[in-house]
Amino acid sequence: MRESERVAIAAHFHVQLRRVTGRVTDTEWMACNLDYADAMVRFAREAAIVYAQPELAEQARRLEAAMEPLRPAPKPVKAAPAAPAPAEEPPARYVGRLRGG
């Protein structure tokens, strides 16, 4: 997705968010910064519940989907090497006395 398309989606999101909550956002920054976009999506989803605005939740979903290509790929998880089985030791024997004398 091109940046201009992300800016357009962020602009629609901004208008809906401002209409519902009065919150002013930076659409250009939102279209290129994942942390800011994620924070605004969380805020919008909470506001959509509080103000019963499903349209706002839909705009948040669209913005989140538009930002998905910017997310870094998850790092592969390496499997931990198997620990060698401990060698069995013979049962310990008591050597010596219990109490001095």
Q: What is the mean pLDDT of the chain?
A: 87
Cβ-based neighbours of 20, under 8 Å, separated by 6 or more: 47, 48, 51, 53, 56
- Indicate whether 92 belongs to any domain: no
Per-residue pLDDT, 98 = 59
> Confidence band (pLDDT; 50, 70, 90) for 80?
confident
Domain that holds residue 51: 3-70
38 within 8 A of 44, measured Cβ to Cβ? no
Q: What is the pTM for the complete model shown?
A: 0.71
> Confidence band (pLDDT; 50, 70, 90) for 27?
very high
- Indicate whether 17 belongs to any domain: yes
Number of domains in the chain: 1
- Indicate whether 32 belongs to any domain: yes
What tens digit of pLDDT does each residue of 30-71 get?
Answer: 999 999 999 999 999 999 999 999 999 999 999 999 999 988
- Indicate whether 62 belongs to any domain: yes
Per residue in 5-16, is it b (16+ CB within 10 Å) or e — as a string?
Answer: ebbebbeebbeb
